[in-house]
A and B are shown apart, each in its own frame.
Chain A
Amino acid sequence: MRRADRIAGAALLALAVAFSAGALTHYSYWGPNGPGPAFLPFWLGVVMALLAATLLVGALRSSDPGAPWLPRGEPLKRLAAVLGATTALVALLNVVGMVLGTALFLIVLMRFLDRTPWPLTLAVAVATAGLNFLVFTRWLRVPMPVSVFGF
């Protein structure tokens, strides 16, 4: 936690400085009849810089390393698997389409991460994909991404 606070504090401080500086260089601070588009962003950057500095100084002076915030071992593997599968689905949404993507995603996570029995896995995958199609594509008429196979 202490290390995470140091990194977050430093990153937020840098962001805040860039945010304020960006506001002043690109937009006008004060217009003809009042505050311009740079006014609030500039001050938000200043306030954020103060807050980030407080966090950073506190974490630098702290002698307690605190509990680790990221899991290790098996839980970390599970977290990575879920996040990886989700990222893959989002990245490939326009290739696999929503219906096929949903089914594949459910099969991967339920069967290969949690060893759900095959019949239950397939039933849930098909039902979810079907329901998703009926509600969003048919009922709400959302043009969901379709796969290269056209569904």
Chain B
Amino acid sequence: MDFISNLALGFSVALTPFNLMMAAAGVTIGILIGALPGVGPPSGVALLLPLTFGMDPTSGIIMLAALYAGTMYGGTITSVLINTPGESASVVTCLDGHQMALQGRAGPALGIAAIGSFVAGTVGVVLLMLVSPALARWSLSFGPPETFALMLLGLTTVTLLTGDNPVKGYISMVFGLMLAMVGFDIISGDARYAFGIPEMMDGIDFLPVAIGLFGLGEVLAGAEAPKGHAVVHGRYGLRDLLPSARDWARSRWAIVRGTFMGFCVGTLPGAGPTIATFMSYALEKKVSKHPQEFGHGAIEGVAGPESANNAAATGAMVPMLTLGIPGSATTAIMLGGLMMWGLRPGPLLFEKNPGFVWGLIASQYIANVMLLILSTVFIPLFVRALRVPYAILMPIVIIFCITGAYSLKNNVWDVGQMLVFGVLGYAMKKLGYSPAALVLALVLGPLAERALRQSLIISDAGLGIFFMRPIAAVLTVAALAAVVVPAVRAGLAALRRRVVVNEASVADKTTRG
């Protein structure tokens, strides 16, 4: 029954006027940010994080979590109306959502996405509430070797899943870890790689890096060619949004499937909402009785993935809160925020800060209700926001990046650092590297190093300790598989290509001979 009393505690925290206001602000800003092409959930969370420094951590995380849920829906609006995904978790929504809009059915497409998001978000919180305490209790038994193996798994899977080129993905990750080495070493006190610069001795803060990579980097990429986008016109009254009985019958089970799959995928380290949407779309197409309609405005193709991404966004909170391992770039930035507020994410969080954890969980219920209301009643307003030209939006976002980086420690050094990483983020994006892997590695780096060194101190078999304890062994092997499998696959592909080339040249010679 402590479950009910915990939830009651949570609601007593979440229902204070200030926290309600923060949840509302988070959802609204989230929808707007998600709707802006090029500014996705990680940049939204990174840009808003400085605003929360003056607040109580609970209010801060409530706003950020509400914002994360909001972005998932905001991205849908642009996908449906202008065929440009506002963030990566809405890419598949373009396929059928935009087709529906072209057929004059933008209303039901947005409506079913809002309903799916609400159902998925709410069920997701129930699952979060049921799974997290058990997981937290289980992970209390983790020692340094298990912690390190888990972090390794998180790092390798994120790297594997976010980039198109595994080598560049791993380069991004190792570079992030190298950046994490800068500054005072907690055990020996050496100021590593600081070159005598006082600002470097404290290490490289992840926030200016995240704002630069995701905020400024994206803006620079968008600055090259200002795209005028055509918004599909339509009517967005409440009645226009309601799906018909036929739509409803077709999408009911898609929402249910999307919810459960999305949540499960979201809890895995490294797999975030984006992967969940692709999997949900593939699943819907497979189970559908009329797969030929997919890509031509099948409503299941919107309902499934849109439910999956909201469920996954909630699911991604599970490893972040219980294990301290973020599953995506967005949760990595939230994790960095938790650490800045002086909270230590992980199993002890549930015991030491119940008001924080349960307040967050309860506020997720409220945020989902708000999301449903805002996304149905205020759609016309958000559609109008889409018409704000990039020429106005771009400089404002840059100002946000500068202010955010400055307000971390009130110095211009961090702003300069943000600028450098902005340029790096632009290049990484263009050249196929993974900014998400870099940020995750930077956040986890110091924790991973401590766990690694503690493990080696207690070990009498060197690195063997990671293979001798059962949980650590499973996690380590899984982490290594994420490195080895793509390497072997690339090797086989290269070999096959060579064989084909050889055969071709042999064939060439025989015909000539």
Contact = CB atoms under 8 A, between A and B. Distances in A.
A87 B192 contact: no
A40 B233 CA distance: 56
Contacts of B168: 55
Contacts of B282: none
A86 B398 contact: yes
A75 interface: yes
A142 B410 contact: yes
Contact of A69 (B193, B415, B430, B454): B430
Nearest to B430: A69
Contacts of A86: 216, 398, 402, 419, 422
Interface residues of A, number: 66
Nearest to B216: A86
A135 B171 contact: no
Contacts of A26: 190, 192
B2 interface: no
B181 to A, nearest CB: 5
A78 B412 CA distance: 25
Nearest to A33: B457
B181 A93 contact: no
Nearest to B459: A34
Interface in B359-382: none
A52 B171 CA distance: 7
Contacts of A100: none
B228 to A, nearest CB: 12
B162 to A, nearest CB: 16
Nearest to A94: B412
Contacts of B167: 51, 54-55, 58
A55 B171 contact: yes
Nearest to A70: B430
B240 interface: no
Contacts of A128: 396, 399
A118 to B, nearest CB: 13
A137 to B, nearest CB: 10
Given A93-B412, A124-B392, A31 B188 contact: yes
B174 A44 contact: yes
A117 to B, nearest CB: 11
Given A82-B223, A90-B416, A41 B431 contact: no
A28 B395 contact: no
Contacts of A124: 392, 396
B403 interface: yes
Contact of A4 (B225, B423, B431, B453): B431
A81 to B, nearest CB: 8
Contact of A34 (B185, B224, B407, B457): B457
A27 interface: yes
A40 B422 CA distance: 27
Interface residues of B, number: 53
B68 interface: no
B343 interface: no
Given A12-B171, A27-B190, A44-B178, A106 B457 contact: no
Nearest to A75: B224
A136 B394 contact: no
Contacts of A35: 452-453, 456-457
A140 B407 contact: yes
A8 interface: yes
Contacts of B412: 90, 93-94, 145
Contacts of B53: 140
Interface in A41-84: 41, 44-45, 47-48, 51-52, 54-55, 58, 69-71, 75-76, 78-79, 82-83
B187 interface: yes
Contacts of B224: 71, 75-76, 78-79
Contacts of B171: 12, 48, 51-52, 55
Contacts of B278: none
A146 interface: no
A82 B220 contact: yes
A130 interface: no
Contacts of B185: 27, 37
B410 A105 contact: no
A69 B412 CA distance: 31
A110 B419 contact: no
Contact of A113 (B391, B416, B419, B427): B391
Contacts of B394: 82, 109
Contacts of A106: 395-396, 399
Given A48-B174, A79-B220, A40 B181 contact: yes
Given A1-B431, A40-B449, A44-B177, 8 more contacts: A27-B185, A51-B174, A55-B168, A55-B171, A71-B225, A86-B402, A86-B422, A93-B412
Interface of B: 51, 53-54, 167-168, 170-171, 174-175, 177-178, 181, 185, 187-188, 190, 192-193, 216, 219-220, 223-226, 389, 391-392, 394-396, 398-399, 402-403, 406-407, 410, 412, 415-416, 419, 422-423, 427, 430-431, 449, 452-454, 456-457
Top 10 closest pairs, chain A to chain B, by CB: A114-B391, A34-B457, A75-B224, A37-B185, A82-B223, A109-B395, A142-B407, A69-B430, A37-B188, A37-B190
